[in-house]
């Protein structure tokens, strides 16, 4: 590293314009790969972290948030073709006494959009897209020197929390059509119509339980199920499913758990039928369940996020 860069780095610690020049210099010297090497050499440096994230590098660090408690601060999280910064809770919503807050899907959605008088922290229920995108980013950086430690902590969080059902939204069926509702990262209610085909025995295995070194092996996904998976997890669903499997609780034999998509039996769709959408450990099958079938009046806990900001890198 040349002396000019080091001098500019020293100046950038208390000079915002010098930081901008430093970002430009690192970009010219090799872009994000160079910024990654630059940050990895000194991971405690806030200046180097700023350079790395300014050039689009994904980064995550543990924080203590006023409203979420233990949380992850995520920088440059890829979400279905966009990039976002946000704070994501490490634990389920809890009361001050430590008990999990249980609400119906409608109550979770309504609270997410409530004003400051009811929801002063602007805390939002995490959708399947948000949760799956975080799993994917963590999974794809698990071997990166900068992130191996927080990813290991994240994996431990998921192992402790996957035993709980986590409500992520709601789904209303009418025949093979369904209306899926959750909260988008711009904190608006996201409602869309999707085909939700009847499945054999009402479920589809997306990935069977398997050794970790075989991760990424998916089962055949019928063409008529792809639109539903795309609405749940975005266009990266083929990569998100293995990431979900990696962070789910392992089987009794230590293998990756199977991952199942469960929908409402077709016989129950003769009249409009509302159900909540959840992600949960399913111990009876040693599996992880993407559940689109439980009654919407049932209550359950959730994981949340706040302070989402869409990122556009113009440097």
Residue 203 sits at φ, ψ, to 5 deg, of -145, 160
Q: Which range has the top average pLDDT, 55-64, 95-104, 306-315?
A: 55-64
Average pLDDT score over the chain: 92
| pLDDT per position as a tens digit, 195-204 | 999 898 899 9
Please report how many Cα atoms fall inside a 13 Å half-sphere around the Cα of residue 243, on the Cβ side.
23
Query: 96-104 long-range contacts, Cβ below 8 Å, gap at least 24?
Result: 100/164, 100/301, 101/301, 101/302, 102/299, 102/300, 102/301, 103/167, 103/299, 103/300, 103/302, 104/167, 104/276, 104/296, 104/297, 104/298, 104/299
Distance (Å, rounded) from C-alpha 21 to C-alpha 5?
10
The pair of structure tokens assigned to 99 is 């008990």
The pTM of this model reads 0.94
Q: What percent of the chain has pLDDT over 70?
A: 97
| pLDDT per position as a tens digit, 96-127 | 778 889 999 999 999 999 999 999 999 999 99
Q: Provide mean pLDDT across the span 267-291.
A: 82
**Maximum pairwise Cα distance, the chain:** 73
The pair of structure tokens assigned to 241 is 């499913």
For residue 28, pLDDT beyond 60: yes
- Confidence bin at 315 (pLDDT 50/70/90): low
| pLDDT per position as a tens digit, 208-246 | 999 999 999 999 999 999 999 999 999 999 999 999 999
Which residues is 59 bridged to in the sheet? Answer: 75
- Confidence bin at 163 (pLDDT 50/70/90): low
The pair of structure tokens assigned to 35 is 């910024």
Nearest residue to 236 via CA among 131, 159, 151, 84: 131
The pair of structure tokens assigned to 186 is 């711009």
- The pLDDT, as a whole number, for residue 284 is 64
For residue 162, pLDDT beyond 60: no
- The pLDDT, as a whole number, for residue 194 is 94
Distance (Å, rounded) from C-alpha 132 to C-alpha 135?
5
Specify whether the backbone of 254 is left (phi greater than 0), alpha (psi in -120 to 50) or beta. Answer: left
Distance (Å, rounded) from C-alpha 59 to C-alpha 302?
24
Helix pair 237-247, 226-233: axis angle to 10 deg:
70
């Amino acid at each position: 590293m040349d002396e000019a860069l080091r001098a500019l780095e020293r100046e950038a610690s208390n000079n915002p314009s010098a930081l901008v020049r430093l970002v430009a210099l690192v970009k010219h010297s090799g872009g994000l790969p160079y910024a990654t090497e630059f940050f990895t050499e000194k991971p405690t440096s806030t200046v180097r972290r700023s350079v790395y994230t300014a050039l689009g590098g994904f980064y995550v660090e543990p924080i203590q948030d006023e409203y979420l408690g233990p949380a992850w601060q995520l920088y440059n999280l890829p979400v279905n073709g966009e990039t976002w910064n946000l704070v994501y809770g490490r634990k389920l919503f809890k009361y001050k006494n430590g008990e999990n807050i249980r609400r119906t899907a409608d109550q979770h959605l309504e609270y997410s959009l409530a004003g400051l008088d009811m929801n002063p922290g602007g805390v939002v229920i995490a959708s399947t897209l948000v949760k799956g995108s975080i799993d994917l980013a963590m999974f794809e950086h698990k071997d990166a020197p900068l992130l191996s430690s927080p990813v290991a902590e994240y994996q431990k969080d998921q192992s402790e929390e996957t035993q709980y059902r986590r409500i992520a939204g709601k789904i209303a069926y009418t025949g093979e059509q369904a209306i899926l509702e959750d909260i988008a990262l711009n904190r608006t209610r996201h409602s869309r119509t999707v085909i939700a085909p009847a499945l054999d025995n009402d479920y589809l295995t997306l990935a069977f339980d398997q050794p970790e070194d075989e991760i990424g092996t998916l089962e055949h996904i019928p063409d008529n199920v792809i639109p539903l998976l795309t609405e749940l997890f975005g266009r990266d669903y083929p990569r998100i499913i293995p990431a979900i499997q990696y962070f789910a609780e392992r089987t009794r034999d230590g293998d990756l758990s199977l991952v199942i998509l469960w929908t409402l039996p077709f016989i129950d769709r003769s009249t409009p039928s509302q159900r909540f959408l959840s992600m949960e450990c399913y111990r009876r099958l040693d599996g992880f369940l993407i559940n689109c079938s439980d009654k919407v009046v049932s209550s359950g806990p959730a994981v949340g996020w706040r302070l989402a900001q869409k990122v556009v890198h113009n440097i």
